[in-house]
Amino acid sequence: MKPNCISLPRRLTPLAARQHSILKAIMHRAAGLAVVCALGASSLSAQAIQYIESRKVWLLSTGQSSYAMGVGTDGALRHLYWGAPLWRAEDLQTPAERRDISSFDPRQMLEAEEFPGWGGPRYYEPALKIARENGDRDLVLRYLSHRIQHNDLDIVLKDLRDPIEVTLHYRVYADHGILRRSATIRNGTAKALTVESAQSATWNLPPGEGYQLSYLSGRWAAETQLNHEPIHEGSKVLESRKGHTSHNFNPWFGIDAGNATEENGRVWFGALGWSGNWRITVEQTPYRQVRVTGGLNSFDFAYPLKPGESLETPPFYAGFSQSGFGGASRTLHRFEREQILPGGATSRLRPVLYNSWEATTFNVNEAGQTALADKTAKLGVELFVMDDGWFGARNDDHAGLGDWFVNPQKFPQGLKGLIDHVNGLGMDFGLWVEPEMVNANSDLYRKHPDWVMNFPERPRSELRNQMVLNLARDDVKEYLFGVLDKLASEYNLRYFKWDMNRSFSEPGWPEVAPAEQRKLWVQYDRNLYEILDRLRAKHPKLEIESCSGGGGRVDLGILQRVDEVWTSDNTEAFDRLRIQEGFSQAYAPKIMSAWVTDVPNMNGRSTPLAFRFLTAMQGALGIGANLNHWTDQDSALATQMIALYKRIRPAVQTGNLYRLASPRTNDVTVNQYVAGDGKLAVVFAFRHSQQYDTAAPTIRLRGLDERAVYRVEAIDNKLIEKQPELSGAYLMDVGLNVNLRGDFDATAVVLERQ
């Protein structure tokens, strides 16, 4: 099959390739020209997975990366390559057998195994560890068979003696530059066994020195802080043991060859799709091999498999960028928007939302919410969300969680009146729920004290006065589905804000046999996913926000079931710039819920309303302020900003993000968003704290068409360039200057291609 090739001037690549929608491309460099070979859909799927039977090697390719593995002469599946696109599977070598260096350095430690079991002389992090009933724990995996269907490859490995099988699943998202891996572990023996560690994948980096790890860490109200550090010999473990994805580490990694910048250099990256306990181990062996192993956390893990039973690990997605961290995150963002989020590319732009929490806390009632809704609608808000406090005996955080019926004192006529009113104002209505939790002071707990996770006769730790229901139990799952289904059926709800305000403790499940109890870590999340999937299937218009005291449950597993996430309970705009910078490494701006709230905020800091708006407008804009306290001037500015946001929203939510200046290293933060069709772009610029009367640095834009002319529109008088039109080349090579002065000054510039 002959690919259809066109030639483009090298200067335009890869932007031009994108603009010409040649995303299914394999790029060959030729002198002075970049030749882009666009493959048709059918030829693309044939090319996405190449297999050479005589050598037993597989080459998996996307438009921007390739990945290869092969079977060694001993039958082990070895990793061969991960990096820039290769196009010729014939080039791949059948992995040669290595020799022991010494009796302490066996050959197994030198071979990049694709999915190593714990067995034989292997001392690195295994992808799978099991224990048989008789105490035998040795597992050595060998290639058995494989199957290719379209862009899916399944490779079956089997223990060298027993019918313990692992099917490695690979899916090539050829148009999106992403490879998905997961594994199904099956007990084909006649005896029970216990899985002690079940990872989704081991990713081997190319042999090399000087790798650097990027990862996200934090805590409540300080999530997704970006870290870069050298990888040294030994292991670095990123994980959650808390039952949810966690405010601490987020299941994303980036590894670069030591010299990548925002827009240049090679970056290998990955993200797990799991909302429970997870772990990613980044390891450099004494033989200079860097490996990343990730999947279910093996801490407190023991998953029994009876004969014939199997365990499926969560998906682990990965990709490779030659355009630095910016390229890596743009790849992930597009993949999430088009392949992960419910509705994919067809899902609507996120509406401008109002949330009552910071205005009224638990003190909600029909009159107060109606008054807020009236003010909200005038600003141009599209979705009104009533937060905590509307149900049970919920006047503070000591009571009511679990009792999901409308509080009759606060809403004597139920919610219908309020919802009709909100709908009459032209807004959709959304409701806060926290289904997984219960207060001791609730009817539900009084009736079902056994429904919370617990170890009998042990204390049940309360955090925020609440306990966690054991959602691994099917009766709890059915009950919660029923409660939410009833609310969604009874009322015209467009949106649930699904909260989860504490981590697990005492994760006991006394109703099942002791050997089965630790299945809770997995079953809880499966049931959570099932409820979300069933709710969405039954109520197709219902949208869901994942919140866990802010960004405590943000990962590619939950994102297959929700439309946006609450980024952080910290809405202080300056702190947010860093939280959002880290968040954007892994997650698309479209899902990043960001509110404008009142000041002084966290840190006792007061930033101007325009600074707060421009910060929040870089994601899915929401307002969380107490509108009753706003002046007419505040409302006028808000109305203007919301109108502007609606204009630039397609660029922000579905465009390409270029992080031009980082809040970690500069006195300014600058981010630029370019719409997918290149017609609209917006630049947000923030000055944190000016010193010595220095001017803000010149902003050189990216991702524009250098031959095009753009109409440049300042939203205020802070843009120094006064020409209404500038070329892409000028904007990218000379740049723009903004007059940002003092503390917390901000502006935005809108560009429209002429």
Q: How many CA atoms lie within 13 A of 445 on its CB side?
A: 23
Nearer to ligand GLA, 254 or 551 (CB): 551
Residue type, 650: P
* CA dist., res. 336 & res. 271, Å (int): 11
Residue 217 Cβ, how far from ligand GLA at the closest point, in Å?
Answer: 19
For 314, other C-beta atoms within 10 Å of its C-beta total: 24
Residue linked to tokens 């290149």: 678
Note whether 269 and 283 are within 8 A (CB).
no
Least Å distance, CB 501 to ligand GLA, is 5
Tally of CB atoms within 10 A around 530? 15
Instruction: Tell the smallest beta-carbon distance from residue 665 to ligand GLA (Å).
Output: 29
Residue closest to ligand GLA when measured from CB atoms: 388
The DSSP string of 609-676 is HHHHHHHHTTSEEEE-S-GGG--HHHHHHHHHHHHHHHHHHHHHHHSEEEEEE-TTT-SEEEEEEE-T
Smaller CB distance to ligand GLA: residue 220 or 529? 220
Nearest distance in Å: CB 502, ligand GLA: 10
> Toward ligand GLA, which CB reaches closer, 500 or 642?
500
Element housing 586 (H / E) = helix 573-586
- The correct pick among 569, 581, 705, 745 for binding ligand GLA (CB under 6 A) is 569
Q: Please, what is the minimum distance in Å from the beta carbon of residue 383 to ligand GLA? A: 15
- Output the six-digit token pair for 174: 């050829």
**Would you say 254 or 550 has its CB closer to ligand GLA?**
550
Instruction: Supply the minimum distance, in Å, between the C-beta of residue 415 and ligand GLA.
Output: 17
Residue with tokens 């401008």: 352
**Residue 110 near residue 91, CB atoms below 8 Å:** no
Q: Which is nearer to ligand GLA, 222 or 520 (CB)?
A: 222
Whether the CB-CB separation of 252 and 269 falls below 8 Å is answered with yes
Quote the least distance from Cβ 388 to ligand GLA, whole Å. 4
| CA dist., res. 142 & res. 148, Å (int) | 18
Residues 71-110 touching ligand GLA, rule: CB under 6 A, are: none
Query: Please, which residue, 317 or 357, has the CB nearer to ligand GLA?
Result: 357
CB-nearer residue toward ligand GLA: 319 or 549: 549
Q: Is 572 in the site for ligand GLA (CB under 6 A)?
A: no
566 touching ligand GLA, by CB under 6 A: yes
* Among 332, 426, 432, CA closest to 380: 426
* Measured distance CA(55)–CA(58) in Å, rounded: 9
Q: Which two tokens stand for residue 184?
A: 């199904």
How far is it, in rounded angstroms, from Cα 468 to Cα 452? Answer: 5
Cβ atoms 490, 405 nearer than 8 A:
no
- Number of residues binding to ligand GLA, judged by CB under 6 A: 11
For the bound state, the minimum distance from the C-beta of residue 389 to ligand GLA, rounded and expressed in Å, comes to 8
Q: How far is the CB of 569 from ligand GLA (least distance, A)?
A: 5
Write down the least CB distance from residue 413 to ligand GLA, Å: 24
Fill in the per-residue mask, 331 to 370: x = in contact with ligand GLA (CB under 6 A), - = not in contact: --------------------------x-------------
Report 536-555 residues binding ligand GLA (CB under 6 A). 547, 549-550
The 8-class DSSP code of residue 323 comes to B
Q: Which of 114, 388, 403, 598 binds ligand GLA (CB under 6 A)?
A: 388
Nearest CA-CA partner of 64 in 50, 79, 85: 85
CB atoms within 10 A of CB 317: 26
Q: In the stretch 627-666, what mask flags binding to ligand GLA with x, by CB under 6 A?
A: ----------------------------------------
Which of 428, 499, 563, 575 is catalytic? The answer is 499
> Binding string to ligand GLA for residues 392 to 431, with x set by CB under 6 A, is what?
----------------------------------------
Q: Which of 159, 387, 569, 745 is catalytic?
A: 569
- Subset of 428-467 contacting ligand GLA (CB under 6 A): 432
Q: With binding defined as CB under 6 A, does residue 499 bind ligand GLA?
A: yes
Q: For strand 353-355 and strand 620-623, is the pairing parallel, antiparallel, or unpaired?
A: parallel
Least distance from ligand GLA to the Cβ atom of residue 743, Å: 27
Has 705 been annotated as catalytic? no
Tell me, yes or no, if 138 is annotated catalytic. Answer: no
> Strand, coil or helix: what is 171?
strand
Task: Write 24-28 long-range contacts (CB < 8 A, 24+).
Answer: 24/63, 24/174, 24/175, 25/63, 26/61, 26/63, 26/85, 26/87, 27/85, 28/87
Minimum CB–partner distance for residue 387 and ligand GLA (Å): 5
- The amino acid present at 728, given as its one-letter code, is G
Tokens of 45: 């799927």
Q: Which is nearer to ligand GLA, 115 or 595 (CB)?
A: 595
Q: Are strands 428-433 and 495-498 parallel, antiparallel or unpaired?
A: parallel
How many CB atoms sit inside 10 A of residue 540's CB?
Answer: 8
Q: Which of 165, 223, 239, 387 binds ligand GLA (CB under 6 A)?
A: 387
Q: Cβ neighbours of residue 403 under 8 Å, at least 6 residues apart? A: 391, 392, 393, 394, 442, 443, 444
Q: Is the Cβ of residue 325 or residue 498 nearer to ligand GLA in the bound state?
A: 498
The distance from CA 78 to its chain's CA centroid, rounded to whole angstroms, is 29
Considering the complex, state which of residue 544 and residue 547 has its C-beta at the smaller distance from ligand GLA. 547
Closer to ligand GLA at the Cβ: 432 or 445? 432
Enumerate residues 9-48 that contact ligand GLA by CB under 6 A: none
- Nearer to ligand GLA by Cβ, of 92 and 437: the residue is 437
Q: What is the DSSP string of 530-577?
A: HHHHHHHHH-TT-EEEE-BTBBSS-STTGGGT-SEEE-BS---HHHHH
Which tokens hold the place of 158?
A: 């089997």
Chain residues in the site for ligand GLA (CB under 6 A): 357, 387-388, 432, 499, 501, 547, 549-550, 566, 569
Catalytic site residues?
Answer: 499, 569
